[in-house]
Amino acid sequence: MTDDLFTSSLAERIRTFIALRRLSGSQCNGQSSILRCFDRFLTRRGGEPRYVTREIHDAYVSTLSHVHPRYRSNQCSVIRQFSIYLSRFEPNCYVPAPVRAGKSQDDWRAYIFSVGQIRDLLAATSRLQPGSRPATFRVLFGLIYTTGLRLGEARALNMGDWHPDTLRLYIHCGKFRKARWVPVSRSVGDVLEAYVARRQLIVAKETGSPPLFLSTQRRRFHHCTIEETFCQLLRQCGIQRTTRHGPRVHDLRHTFAVHRLLGWYRDGQDINTRLPALATYMGHVNIASTQVYIQATPELYDCVNQRLLSYARGNGILGGPKQ
């Protein structure tokens, strides 16, 4: 994200705050994204505030009531850090108290989409605003589902990160600054190739390393825009919220992991030998991180049960011949 995207009356202060964080060696892409959301809120709100007031802070926090508690806590933490910085120049700036996300079993339960719902979501992108948006979001959401990429990894992809000759995507900086190669299937590669060809017709001349997914302003998509569009598609498809925070774009990554495991069960694969490969593919340090994404569904329960029954019968444990 470039700093020229900040447009509110606090834009200059935000840019300086981010620059100082970068000078200290912090990886502040997440903070930049959060402050971009806050800056957009200030711009929509209007007025020319020189500092954060309690009214502004509380009004912004109220817009986060629908998001995951941990994400809301991160947002509040960054706004608090910025307010502390701003208070050095504006003594009347409101500095909110620290906020911690409450723990709830429901908060950790991801939404696992069915294959039919995935098809409906991708088909619904055709009803988005004309231009490049339908094709862009269809490929973006389809890519996250078929590869399990994190949203930040997908939106950070540049044109040069797609290698059609080897059917691979290069992730420059995943979680914990880890880079990795992500192979894709031929069908996914064909879709990417068609999208790249269409995109190059729309944006013919580009320099440097341009983003793979471009907004209508010819800029890299902001994650808030992607989440808002995803929510719009959910409403069009009649997919209702099952938890306070979901479904989210990140749940496509969870769905990828569950569907991949389900496919292996149905193919008779040895799950224990496949899980390390899945962990590596998703950019995890170990299998424990991948297990967080594996959520029991009725289909998965049925496959596990069928395999156990088959094993029991084959070994005379259940339904074996009478002695």
Report pLDDT digits (tens) over 228-277: 999 999 999 999 876 656 699 999 999 999 999 999 988 888 888 888 99
Contacts of 233 by beta carbon, 8 Å cutoff, 6+ apart? 121, 124, 125, 128, 137, 141
Q: Confirm if 192 and 146 have CB atoms less than 8 A apart.
A: no
55 has a pLDDT exceeding 70: yes
Q: Which helix (H) or strand (E) holds 134?
A: helix 133-147
What is the band of 145 on the pLDDT scale with cuts at 50, 70, 90? very high
What is the band of 87 on the pLDDT scale with cuts at 50, 70, 90? very high
Q: What is the pLDDT of residue 223?
A: 84
Task: With H, G, I as helix, E, B as strand and everything else as coil, classify residue 238.
Answer: coil
Helix axes 115-124, 133-147, angle to 10 degrees: 160
Per-residue pLDDT, averaged over 270-286, amounts to 89
Q: What is the pLDDT of residue 1?
A: 42
Q: In whole angstroms, what is the distance from residue 39 CA to residue 18 CA?
A: 13
110 has a pLDDT exceeding 90: no
Of residues 215 and 230, more confidently modeled? 230
Q: What is the pLDDT of residue 287?
A: 86
323 has a pLDDT exceeding 50: no
Q: Which of 95-109, 162-176, 238-252 has the highest mean pLDDT?
A: 162-176
Q: Which of 167-176, 183-192, 194-203, 264-273 has the highest mean pLDDT?
A: 183-192
Phi then psi for 284, rounded to 5 degrees? -95, 150
Per-residue pLDDT, averaged over 165-170, amounts to 96
- Written as six digits, the tokens of 301 are 């329960």
Per-residue pLDDT, averaged over 133-158, amounts to 94
Q: What is the pLDDT of residue 108?
A: 62
Residues 84, 100, 19, 1: is their CA dihedral positive or negative?
negative
Q: What is the pLDDT of residue 52?
A: 95
Q: What is the pLDDT of residue 174?
A: 76
Residue 251's closest CA among 173, 120, 183, 151?
Answer: 151
What is the band of 112 on the pLDDT scale with cuts at 50, 70, 90? very high
Which residues are 171's β-sheet partners? 180
Residue 68's Cα: distance from chain center in Å? 13
125 has a pLDDT exceeding 50: yes
Q: What is the pLDDT of residue 65?
A: 77
134 has a pLDDT exceeding 60: yes
- Written as six digits, the tokens of 56 are 């502004």
Q: What is the pLDDT of residue 311?
A: 65
Task: With H, G, I as helix, E, B as strand and everything else as coil, classify residue 171.
Answer: strand
290 has a pLDDT exceeding 90: no
Q: Which of 80-94, 200-214, 285-299 has the lowest mean pLDDT?
A: 200-214
pTM of the model: 0.67
Residue 233's closest CA among 149, 136, 153?
Answer: 136
